[in-house]
Structure 1
Amino acid sequence: MLGLLASRAGDVVHIEEIIDAVWGSAVPRTAVNGVHTYVAGLRRAIEPGRGSRESGGLLISSGGGYSLRLPQEQIDAHVFAQLHANASRLRAEGEVRGALDALERALPLWHGEAFANIPGPFAAMERTRLQELRLAATEEWADGLLSLGRHAEVVVLLADLVAKEPLREKLRWLLMMALYRSGRRADALTLYRRTQDLLRDELGIEPGPELRALHEQMLGGHLDTTGTALNAPVPPTDAGELPADRWTPVRPAQLPPLTRGFLGRGTERARLSRLVADDGARRRTTMALITGAPGVGKSALALHVASDLADDFPDGQLFLDLCGTSPERAPLSAREALAQLLRSLAVDESAIPDDLPGRTALYRSLLYGKRVLFVLDDAYDAEQLRPLIPQGPACVLITSRWRHSGLVARDGAYRVELAPLSPEESVDLLAYLAPSRCVREEPETVERITRLCGHLPLALRVVAEALTTRPGTTLSQLAQALDEGAMEWLDVVRDAAASLRSAFSRSYRALPADVAQMFRLLGLYDGLVITDDVAATLAACSRTRARRLLDSLAEAHLLMELGEGCFRFHELIGVYAAERAERDEPAPSVDAALARSLQSYGKGRRPLRPMVQSSSKAHHLAGHDMR
Structure 2
Amino acid sequence: MVRLRVLGSIEADVDGVRVGLGGPRQRAVLAMLLCARGGVVSVDRMVDQLWEGSPPRRALASLQSYVSNLRRVLEPRRPRRAPCEVLVSSAPGYALRLPDEAVDAWRFEEALRRARGVSADEARRLLQEALGWWRGPAFVEVADAEWALTEVARMTELHFTAREMLIDAVIRGGRGDEAVPLAEVFTREQPLREEGWRLLATALSGAGRRADAMGALRRSRQILRHELGLEPGPELVALEQELLRGQCHQSEATALGGSAVGEGAADEALGAGRRGRTSNAFDDRVSDGGGASPTPAATPEAECGTLSPLEAPLADSVGDDLFVGRDTELTALAQAADASRYSGGVVQVTGEAGVGKTRLLGRAFQRLAREGWTVVVGRCPEFDGAPPAWAWVEALGALAQKAPPAEPAAVAALLGERAAEEAPTDAVAGRFLLHRAVATWMGQVAACGPLAVVIDDLHRGDTETLALLEYITGVDGPPVLVLTAHRPGEAGRLAGTLGQLAARSSPYRIALGGLETRDVRTLVTAVCGADVDPHTVTALAERTGGNPFYVRESARLLASEGSLVALSDVPQGVRDVLRRRLARLPRQAFEVLRLAAVVGREAHVEVLMRAAESGEADVLDGLEAGVVAGLLVEPGPGRIRFAHALVRDTLYTDLTWLRRGRAHARVAEALRDLRPDDSTALAHHCSRSGTAALAPLAVEHGLRAAELAERRYAYDAAVGMLERVVESYERIPEPGGDRDARRVELLGKLLRAQVRAGTAPAARVTRSRAIEIAEAAGRDDLLAAALTGWQVPTPWQTRPYGAVDRPVVAALERLLAEASQDAGQDASQDAGQDADQFGIAEKEPGAAVRCLLLDTLVAELSGEDDPQRVVLAARELVVVARRSGEPALLAQALASAAKCRSYERAIGFRSRIAVELRVLAERLDLPVYRWVCQFIDASVAGARNDPKALRRHAEAGLELARRYRLVESEAVHRASLAMLAQVQGDFDGALRGYDEVGALMRRHGMMHARDFHELALITVGLARGQVAELVALARDRYERNGPIDGDTYALVLARLGRLDEARTVGRIALRHDHHHTRNTCIRAELAALLGRHAEAPELIRQLLPVRDQLSGGAYTVFAMRPVAHYLGLLHRLLGEEETAHRYFARADGVARRWGAMHWTGTARRAQD
Query: Please, what TM-score do these two structures have when normalized by structure 2?
Result: 0.24
Q: Which gives a bigger RCO, structure 1 or 2 (Cα 8 Å, sep 6+)? A: 1
Query: Please, what TM-score do these two structures have when normalized by structure 1?
Result: 0.41
Whose helix proportion is higher, 1 or 2?
2
Which has the higher Rg, Structure 1 or Structure 2?
Answer: 2
